[in-house]
Amino acid sequence: MKRVGIILGLILIVVAVFLLVNKSYYPPFPTDNLSAKEAIEKLKNADEKIVEVATENDSIWYITKSEGKGMSLADDHLKQMIGSKGWQFKEQAGAGLFFEKDGEKLVVMTEMWTNKYVLVQVQKKFKEL
C-alpha cells in the first residue's frame, strides 16, 4: 500500500513539473494558429511593450504585459501605439477603446488574459489607413 502512495505521489510531482515547465496552464489563445506559449515567447523576445502575435479575419491580435498595474498600463501602451499611426483617442467604454482618423472609426478591444498579460484585438483597418 505504501508503494502505491509513493508511486502516485511521484506521478503527481512529474505532472506538476511538466505543467510548470511547459506553461500549459495558460488559458487558450483566441486564435487557432498560435499557442499561448508562442504568444508569450514573442513578447519576451521583442523590444517593444506591445507585440503583434496573430492576424485573423478582420482582426490583428497583440499581447502586452500588465506588470501588476492591470489594464491601465496596457491602455497607455495602446494609446501610444495607435496614436503613432495618426489615430486620435476619443473615449473608452469598458474594455473598448475608440479612435478616429480621417472620419473613420477604430474599435480596439482589450482582455485581461492572465494576471500578467493583456490581449488586444484591433480592427485591420488600423494598418490599412
CATH number of the structural domain spanning residue 111: 3.30.310
- C-alpha 52/C-alpha 119 separation (Å) is 10
Q: Which long-range contacts (CB under 8 A, 24 or more apart) does 34-43 make?
A: 34/61, 39/63, 40/117, 43/117
The answer on pLDDT for 14 being more than 70 is yes
Q: What is the pLDDT of residues 28-48, one digit of tens each?
A: 778 778 888 888 888 889 888
In three-state secondary structure terms, 112 is strand
Q: What is the pLDDT of residues 77-127, one digit of tens each?
A: 889 999 998 999 999 998 899 999 999 999 999 998 888 899 999 998 887
Residue 2: inside a domain, yes or no?
Answer: no
Q: Which domain holds residue 35?
A: 27-128
Residue 1: inside a domain, yes or no?
Answer: no
* Overall number of domains in the chain: 1
Residue 49: inside a domain, yes or no?
Answer: yes
Q: Which pTM does this prediction carry?
A: 0.75
The model's confidence at residue 23, banded by pLDDT at 50, 70 and 90, is low
